[in-house]
Structure 1
Amino acid sequence: MSDFCSASAAPHYAPDLRLEPIHRDISFHFDLQRRSARGVVVITLVARSAGARRLELDGLDLREVEASDPRGRALSCRYDGKKLHIVWDEPFAGSERRELRIAYTVVDPLSGMCFSWPDEQYPNRSRHVVTDNETERARYWLPCIDHPNVRTTVDFHLRAEQQWTFLANGFHAGEESHEDGTKTVHWKLEQPSPSYLLCIAVGDLVCVEAGDFEGRPVAYFASAGHRPEDLLRAFGPTVDMLGWMTRRLACPFPYPKYYQLAAEGIGGAMENISLVTWDDMFVADERIHREWGWLIDLVNLHEMAHSYFGDLLVIRDFSHAWLKEGWATYMESAWLGDVYGEDDLLHQIHEEKWAYMDEADKDYARPIVTRNFDSAW
């Protein structure tokens, strides 16, 4: 363990949820060129025990933070740059529901919300904003209990210049144009989600519509400058993979769409519910795809498997990340076996075993489940 974490690493546990968030209504008005957004989140809370009146939310480097109770109940809010400490004057009754409204500004955050806009050094840079949260980076743009045991339904209201593409988790629930040349797009997620699986993207995006899978739309997006044919080459097997996955697990796909987005600012690939994000290096032309196509397919299958293992079934805390990652990795091997044969399955399992043992020999060895770590990542 000495090489895995520092000697001072404290044990991590799921937070107390005497006041549990059950819904988030998230509104953003983006100014992409200024790399900023004005946000409002209305959190619906339910008291799991009578007498609770304190709530602590994660929020890093947020600006102009204001908290209020929409029904006028008195409360105080203290923000120290890392946490919002909310205290109601009147305690909650058991099972009582209340709303908390937090208005704030995000300006070019260090992580979590990635803005891209051309400048003197990079005049061809794309124009977009996209979020990338795993494991504990939603707090850079969203006041929340940034932990997987807090799972809420979500409404997103995203406002920006009307020519942009607007994406988020869930299904498209409507949009409204404004006289100033902006529009607000409403996305709605009816399945509970932890903060690290939320995703927003707005900007100049290329789109390839790939039809549907059992009535659920499938589409591929990338930041401007990428070619539709490269997008289709990279993600073309997706619909067939969805068919294989649902048959193998004997379980219908649990979400209303399956979108994939490749953009600068994403590290690797991320299984956000119904909106998987990728580093745009995976948008492969013919030459690169000849070398990397096998890897892109495995990553595609891996992130899709997380729709079940990690998204539908959510870990209680990050000490059990092995569960979601282990199952998603195993599904890669199962897919190889069913599509290419047993030799490919066994070779994949051998490679994964070798990589694990090599890490244990050269870097560190630790229990599969440990609460002591410096970073959940």
Structure 2
Amino acid sequence: TLQFKQNDRGVRIHLARPVGRGQSSTVSIDYGVENPRLGLYFTGPDEHYPNKLWQAWSQGQDEDNKYWFPCVDHPREKVTSEIRATVDKPYVVVSNGELKEKYEDDDGRLVYHWSMEKPHSIYLISLAIGAYIELTDHFEDIPLSFYVPEGREEEGYRTFEKTADIVRYFSEQTGIRYPYRQYSQVVAQDFIFGGMENTTATTLTEMTLHDERAHLDFTSEHLVAHELAHQWFGDLVTSKSWSHSWLHEGFATYFDLLYTEHAEGEDEFYYRLLENRETYFEEHDSKYRRSIVTNVYSQPIDLFDMHLYPGSAARLHMLRRILGEEEWLEVITLFLKEHRDSVVETVDFARCIEEVTGDNYDWFIDQWFYKPGFPVLECSCEYQEKEKNLIFHVKQNQNAEKEPHTFRFPLTVRLVGEDGTARDIKVQVEEREHHFYIPAEGEPSMVLVDPEDTILKRMRWKVDSGKLSRQLKQAENVLKRIEAAAELTKVGDREAVTSLEEAMHHDPFWGVSARAAKGLGAIRTEQAMQALIGGLEVTHPKARRAVVTALGNFKDEKAFETLRPLAAKDASYFVEAEAVYAIARTKAEGAFSLVVGALEKDSFNDVIRCKALEGFGELDDDKGLTILYEYSRYGKPELVRAQALRILGKMGKSRPDNLEILEKISDAFQAPEGPRSFRAKLAAIQALETLNREEGLPLLKRVAETELDGRLVRNARLAVRKIERGKDKGEAILKLEKKLDEFAEESKKLKDRMDKLESGV
């Protein structure tokens, strides 16, 4: 027996003899653990949730596995692993690698022996236990297993049906056949992430299981693809430190998008790319900005944000387009082959780019990964008939104080003639402002800036509404049509409404229809409302949902009556839910009782109840507070409870003297500890931030100091910072918001009067 010392930070072992550099020594540790604080979680029924199942599951990322077994918990440490677990029947044990044996012991209990013979990082070691039914499939000779609760087999097949095709596609795209002997996916109750890419044994939230009706709007393919991509990016090749974890999450996010392009087509790919960018922009604008690669963080989990996931994926998309498909695939294959089963940093990826292309791409890596931000462009053009030139103006308008560097990037300008022929002109943007003179025999029918939407940017495209209408109707790329819809929304005249209405009805892709509807909702004239009422006939549920959302912008009895049948019943859960919320936003008489009635409806992940609760925040009626108090308590469904807490924060903002709201939000931190309370606690932090009251600061500071989950700590710190910076501004902001609403209403009325004058009505 060796001497050792143990404290809160680890175990120090005194070896029997010195071990020199390059030598090895084997040490066995006999240990036990009860009720680990992190890393391994136990969940089951209690008096408030009697229908919950007994399950146990681990969650090692970032550095939490050390809480349930002794280890050097760092991503650079790669080890083989082995787990023997004994459970009562009918429980099933799933872990990494291969199931070496399963047998019944002398007590009639089941013993599972799993072994992972390839070294993998500590945080990827996994254990999941539950009364599961195993569903099976295969990719070539590789078995695929899906573990779901009994009674949910049909949902399980629907959720995981594309797994084999995703494995095949990623094997082709990476040039590396799936690198392990089997692949399992386990759904976990009360799971605190969407998914976790444990080597060969991914854990997924039970919330991804869905019925046929939900499948109209919802798919698990994106989550399944993201976690599967990690088997190459993160598991096979692992970042040496968390600072470079974009090499995991950026690639997993982008390869998920690539599978969308393969399986669903280019339009869906581009639309998801847009949505990804928008989530990154929102975090950049409203919370903070940072470089993708950084060593500035309190805990590793701080890095796992929208900069890391969609922000990195958008940068990889640029690289793919700049390199071209052939060299892109060569770089990916070289990177994975050279570094498989090892650890890497960003520089290793940069070297692979250089080796394949023969060019130095340090400028790209430095600008897009080691520096924060993105260009904000203002573009316009004018044609000189006499000189036969098109002058293309491009200006970088990003804040010079926050983004001191000027971005360098290639930019394509596409000139489209009256006959539809296109000519691409490539320019290099290197300064804050450029004026490019492009020879053109005649004025182009259409000018498209960055026609394939390669560059990560925000852009204002300043051309006349006629050209925008043509772009909305004729541009091939869906993002160029969406760009035109956004610019026409800013124009907002009768012709713009007509163009948006036509796109809403006739564009071949639902995403353009949805953005056109969003534009009509923002214009808020009588003509726009009538267009939206007609738009309810669109067949795609996601486009119809956007029409419903837009109609909620109109505080009008006609909008209320139009939405009422959809709130009662629609083929889509999501359309029905959105109709309930839109009705609340109309603030029409009868809206409150309709929203209350919607609380009785069961739906996928309680989407209808959640939207109804959000509706109380729009109605802002004191009667809604009692309902929100009830739905925020421990015992209500997890997503419903979290939503109620968030809306309490919103309603409390206009009730600064109501201390009961603060008390009800604070109750989230009095509930039993465990993963079941995670989302409620996160929502309570968001609610306290929204409340923006000094009375909430002591609780937020205590959360930041005492909570174990790094995401709760990070969000509490951000909330404290925001409240302390914004002291005494809350009331002024409320008044400003009210003034803006009043201005929007007056603007709508003025537009309606102008429209009537112009039309001679």
Shorter chain as denominator, the TM-score bin is 0.7 to 0.9
Q: Distance in 2 between matches of 1:353 and 1:332?
A: 14
Q: Distance in 2 between matches of 1:121 and 1:341?
A: 45
Find the counterpart in structure 2 of residue 97 from structure 1.
24
User: What secondary structure does 1:256 align onto?
Assistant: coil
Find the counterpart in structure 1 of residue 240 from structure 2.
316
Find the counterpart in structure 2 of residue 134 from structure 1.
61
Match of 2:227 among 272, 293, 303: 303
Match of 2:140 among 214, 223, 230: 214
Quote how far apart the aligned CAs of 1:162 are.
4.5
Find the counterpart in structure 2 of residue 259 from structure 1.
184
Find the counterpart in structure 2 of residue 106 from structure 1.
33
Q: Distance in 2 between matches of 1:226 and 1:78?
A: 49
Quote how far apart the aligned CAs of 1:226 are.
4.5
Q: Distance in 1 between matches of 2:125 and 2:232?
A: 16
- 1:346 paired with 2:273, answer no
1:168 is matched by which residue type in structure 2?
S
Find the counterpart in structure 1 of residue 399 from structure 2.
none
Quote how far apart the aligned CAs of 1:182 are.
2.0
- 1:290 paired with 2:216, answer yes
Assess if the C-alpha contact under 8 Å between 2:194 and 2:223 holds in 1.
no
Gaps of 5+ in 2: 302-761
- 1:366 paired with 2:286, answer no
Find the counterpart in structure 2 of residue 337 from structure 1.
261
Quote how far apart the aligned CAs of 1:225 are.
4.7
1:80 is matched by which residue type in structure 2?
N
**Cα distance change on mapping 1:343 and 1:163 into 2, 3 Å:** closer
**Cα distance change on mapping 1:115 and 1:327 into 2, 3 Å:** same
Assess if the C-alpha contact under 8 Å between 1:77 and 1:85 holds in 2.
yes
Q: Distance in 2 between matches of 1:349 and 1:202?
A: 36
User: What secondary structure does 1:278 align onto?
Assistant: strand
- 1:248 paired with 2:173, answer yes
Gaps of 5+ in 1: 1-67, 69-74
Find the counterpart in structure 2 of residue 10 from structure 1.
none
Q: Distance in 1 between matches of 2:4 and 2:108?
A: 35
**Cα distance change on mapping 1:257 and 1:89 into 2, 3 Å:** same
Quote how far apart the aligned CAs of 1:120 are.
2.9
Assess if the C-alpha contact under 8 Å between 2:55 and 2:189 holds in 1.
no
Compare the two structures and name the one with the higher helix fraction: 2
Find the counterpart in structure 2 of residue 78 from structure 1.
5
Aligned identity (percent) is 30
Quote how far apart the aligned CAs of 1:291 are.
2.3
User: What secondary structure does 2:213 align onto?
Assistant: helix
- 1:125 paired with 2:52, answer yes
Q: Distance in 2 between matches of 1:134 and 1:226?
A: 30
1:341 is matched by which residue type in structure 2?
G
1:247 is matched by which residue type in structure 2?
E
- 1:231 paired with 2:156, answer yes
List aligned pairs for 1:1-150, cutoff 5 A.
68=1, 75-150=2-77
Q: Distance in 1 between matches of 2:165 and 2:59?
A: 26
Instruction: Tell which has more relative contact order, 1 or 2 (C-alpha 8 A, sep 6+).
Output: 1
Q: Distance in 1 between matches of 2:115 and 2:271?
A: 41
User: What secondary structure does 1:337 align onto?
Assistant: helix
Quote how far apart the aligned CAs of 1:350 are.
2.3
Q: Deviations over 1:17-37 (max 9, x none)?
A: xxxxxxxxxxxxxxxxxxxxx
Compare the two structures and name the one with the higher strand fraction: 1
List aligned pairs for 1:166-245, cutoff 5 A.
166-210=93-137, 212-222=138-148, 224-245=149-170
Q: Distance in 2 between matches of 1:225 and 1:180?
A: 25
Assess if the C-alpha contact under 8 Å between 1:226 and 1:283 holds in 2.
no
Quote how far apart the aligned CAs of 1:119 are.
3.1
Larger deviation, residues 87-96 vs 165-174: 87-96
Q: Deviations over 1:206-259 (max 9, x none)?
A: 22122x11211111112x354100111111111111111112222110011111
Quote how far apart the aligned CAs of 1:77 are.
1.4
Larger deviation, residues 136-145 vs 157-166: 157-166
Q: Please, what TM-score do these two structures have when normalized by structure 2? A: 0.38
Structure showing greater Rg: 2
2:169 is matched by which residue type in structure 1?
W
Q: Please, what TM-score do these two structures have when normalized by structure 1? A: 0.76
User: What secondary structure does 1:97 align onto?
Assistant: coil
Quote how far apart the aligned CAs of 1:117 are.
3.0
Larger deviation, residues 360-369 vs 114-123: 114-123
Quote how far apart the aligned CAs of 1:285 are.
1.6
Alignment: residue pair count: 300
